[in-house]
Amino acid sequence: MSQSSQSSQSSVINNEYEWCKQCQINFLTENFTKWTSENEIIDDFIQETQLNVDEYDNVLFEWILYNQFNVKEISKSDSTPVYSVIWEK
């Protein structure tokens, strides 16, 4: 990413991975209203961790709606089911 193509709000840029800290935070913040776990404590935790991103490889939490998963029971032993889950983004 060239200097001219980065966000004017960028405060940290990682050229090797073309990552901009402020761009990432802006993107996540813009999406806060597009999802909810319907639990304020969980939502606040996820949003706080997203806002504290500091490096391109930091772990980010994201709420994923259940309907985005393909869930299949693959086995059942002693009344304990085992599931396979694929995220179909």
Do the beta carbons of residue 51 and residue 28 sit within 8 Å? yes
Residue spans per domain, the chain? 3-64
Report helix, strand or coil for 13: strand
Whole-angstrom distance, CA of residue 53 vs CA of residue 12: 11
Confidence category of residue 19, pLDDT binned at 50, 70, 90: confident
Report helix, strand or coil for 40: helix
Whole-angstrom distance, CA of residue 16 vs CA of residue 56: 10
Q: Give the global pTM.
A: 0.60
Higher pLDDT, 58 or 46: 46
Whole-angstrom distance, CA of residue 75 vs CA of residue 80: 8
What does the pLDDT look like over 20-53, one tens digit per residue? 888 889 999 998 988 899 999 999 999 999 999 8
Confidence category of residue 15, pLDDT binned at 50, 70, 90: low
The reported pLDDT for the residue numbered 66 is: 87
